Chains A and B, each alone.
Chain A
Amino acid sequence: MKTVEVVVLIILILALALLITVGFEHIMPSTAVRPPAEFYLYATYNPYKLREYTVMSPEAVTAIVWDFRGLDTLFETSVFYLALIAGLALTRRLLSERAEKPGHGLSLIVKTVTRITAPMIIVVGASIALHGHLTPGGGFQGGSVIAVLPMVIIVVFSVSFLIMRGFTTSKMIIMRSLGLFGIGLTAIALFLVSLIQGTHAYVFQNMIKPDAQTSMPIYIAGALISGTLWFFNLFEMFAVAAGFSIAFIVLMLARTLQVEER
């Protein structure tokens, strides 16, 4: 019965594709990109001709996310924070933070392999995050890779193992708030510096602009860091990893409403 449905589905898709080819030629990808994309590709690393509009980072996507359209990313980070706080507020009454009797977890082979691969996960995630301005990657990618680690530890060992080692919900909330505070400070760093000096600068400024001549350092000890991009990636990695750990620990510890006084 299922085979018939699957074959009918595939034939329908192939027929629809034939219809689209004949009738709708103008919505397929073509050999040219749109004009805003040409400007962003031209201006992402161009100290030769566009010194006052460039970002000095060879990676176009990270430059767009944190410098050209940086305000979008700021508000997306706050939306994520609001969703986490809302979930935490909903289940506040149902948490049991006492360290219960530790569960068994899985077998010894799985526990040994987890102990070996846990530092590797952290190193890979940090490398993806901190090289975000040179290769594909960035703060959010590295933070998600590191956030896989608490979930693996909760499944293989038990959730009491994590809490008795000191990774409680309160400490994760503190780490997340420190990450967000770091992002906010980096965003207005140049503004404060130029307020003290008496010159003109914008909020969220990275490199020199036509009428604001202060700039973040491009090279530190010979290595390219592209100004605020490296600091944004570092703080975003901490904030994202801590945020996901809070969600896992709270969801694993929630108990039913019946057990409480009701």
Chain B
Amino acid sequence: MLSGETGIYILMAVVSLISTLAVYMAVVEKDLVKAVIYSALQSGLYTILYFLLLAPDIGLVYIPVAVGLIPGVLLILISKTERWEKE
């Protein structure tokens, strides 16, 4: 019943909806460590989207940069400054 093309598009739609959820949770959260983890989750979902959109070069850049290096640098900065966002 389902052709292959519709199956891939359904997967793309589900992944984008979950990524919007992750962005909303990252913006509303007051604990900054949890906000960084939600932003890394959103980057992982974007990588799945890049592979579904047939761009493996970009996915290979995005995985170490947005899931490993940027949260690492932000967590080092949080550990040297403050952790909670006030009010």
List the interface of chain A (C-beta within 8 A of B). Answer: 2, 5-6, 9-10, 13, 61-62, 128, 136-138, 140-141, 144-145, 147-148, 151, 155, 244, 247-248, 251-252, 254
Contacts and interface: CB of A to CB of B under 8 A. Distances in A.
Given A244-B69, A248-B73, A147 B57 contact: no
Contacts of A144: 61, 64-65, 69
Contacts of A10: 17, 20-21
Contacts of B68: 148, 151
A140 B61 contact: yes
B61 A141 contact: yes
Given A5-B24, A144-B65, A128 B72 contact: no
A9 B20 contact: yes
Nearest to A10: B17
14 contacts: A6-B24, A9-B20, A10-B21, A13-B20, A61-B57, A62-B57, A136-B57, A138-B57, A141-B61, A155-B72, A244-B69, A247-B73, A248-B72, A252-B76
B64 A145 contact: yes
Interface in B38-81: 56-57, 60-61, 64-65, 68-69, 72-73, 76-77, 80
Q: Which secondary structure dominates chain B's binding surface?
A: helix
Given A13-B17, A141-B60, A148-B64, 4 more contacts: A61-B57, A62-B57, A137-B57, A144-B64
A88 to B, nearest CB: 14
A59 to B, nearest CB: 8
A50 to B, nearest CB: 23
A251 B77 contact: yes
A254 B76 CA distance: 11
Contacts of A251: 73, 76-77
Interface string B26-41: 0010000000000000
Contacts of B28: 2
B66 to A, nearest CB: 10
Contact of B56 (A5, A136, A148): A136
